[in-house]
Structure 1
Amino acid sequence: MIVEKRFADLSPLELYGLLRLRVDVFVVEQTCPYPELDGRDTEPGTVHVWISGEDGEVQSCIRVLENGEDRAIGRVATAVGARGRGLSAQLIARGLELCAGRTVDIGAQAYLEGWYARFGFERSGEDYLEDGIPHLPMRVVAPA
């Protein structure tokens, strides 16, 4: 089941689960010591979207951000043991529904360009390095 909540509506346990998964994937697994807590989680327009396992552990998550009239999807993460089950695909599809009719940007890890393209995202700029990992900007107009 997909859960969607704004920061003010998250329970402490839900917030902990989301942040733990993101730190496990982005900081520990990808060995990128960076400020995971960037201040965007608490913005009133940010929507946290996730799927939990039967044990209540967050298995996969994204966040949808407001950028003026545009939107962004980021912090796409799936637990190692939950990969290959299509959880992130479900969340990206739901994130695009939440952004209906808006331009949506992502900063994709370069190796995932083809994966994001299946949702209609197209390259929107030059490659760049973020925390030593090749990335590229991508953009799509979410279907209305």
Structure 2
Amino acid sequence: MPHVISAAPLGQLAALDVHQLYKLRVDVFVHEQRCPYAEIDATDADSQTIHLLAWDADSHELLGTARVFPAAPADATPAGNGAQIGRFALAPAARGTGLGRELLQAAIDLGERMRPGQPLYLEAQAGLVDYYASYGFTPIGQPFDDKGVPHQPMLRPAS
């Protein structure tokens, strides 16, 4: 499946690209995972948040997405002045193709460029802790419930 990964703040995306971004996230998180929550938030529109979009090169269908943004102040997250990765989602057709690994590596690389020498933080769904651990993320703190879905805070040391 030939694909292209693009990266931009929300304000630089075309309106139909934003539509596909939100549609994919709602399809995965709200419908598939049955997690009703406020999908659209202020972090999306922050000028420092970069959205990674993995497109099918032929059909221009959105296959995956993630966002990378400066972590909250040190008192709110263990990442300190690092970056946070979130809203990582893949369309069902893209799962098992290797695109997820490529997209996550792109998010890690972006986070490291965004905040050089700083750790990366994410809040993994409990079932994906081992997946993120394979990228050097380590569970920290206590698991927590996010709208009925168990999550585990994870940190990847600065490289």
TM-score, structure 1 normalization = 0.94
Is 2:8 the partner of 1:5?
Answer: yes
How many pairs were matched up? 143
SS in structure 1 of the partner of residue 63 of structure 2: strand
1:39 and 2:42 are equivalent in the alignment:
yes
Return structure 1 stretches of 4+ with deviation > 6 angstroms. none
**Structure-to-structure mapping, 1:1-144, within 5 angstroms:** 1-53=4-56, 54-67=58-71, 68=73, 69-100=81-112, 101-143=117-159
The whole-number CA distance in structure 2 between the counterparts of 1:57 and 1:116 is 26
The answer as to whether partners of 2:124 and 2:153 remain within 8 angstroms in 1 is: yes
Higher strand share: 1
How far apart in 2 are the matches of 1:74 and 1:142?
18
Question: Which letter maps to 1:22?
Answer: R
Identical-pair percentage: 36
Q: Could you tell me whether the CA contact under 8 Å between 2:28 and 2:89 is conserved in 1?
A: yes
Deviations 1:2-51 (A, max 9, x none): 11111121000111111110000000101111100111111011000021
Q: Which range moves more in the overlay, 73-82 or 85-94?
A: 85-94
Provide structure 2 residue ranges, at least 5 long, that are not aligned to the other structure.
74-80
- Any idea what SS the aligned residue of 1:41 has? helix
Q: Can you give the 5+ residue segments of structure 1 that lack an aligned partner in the other structure?
A: none
The DSSP-based 3-state class of the residue aligned with 1:134 is: strand
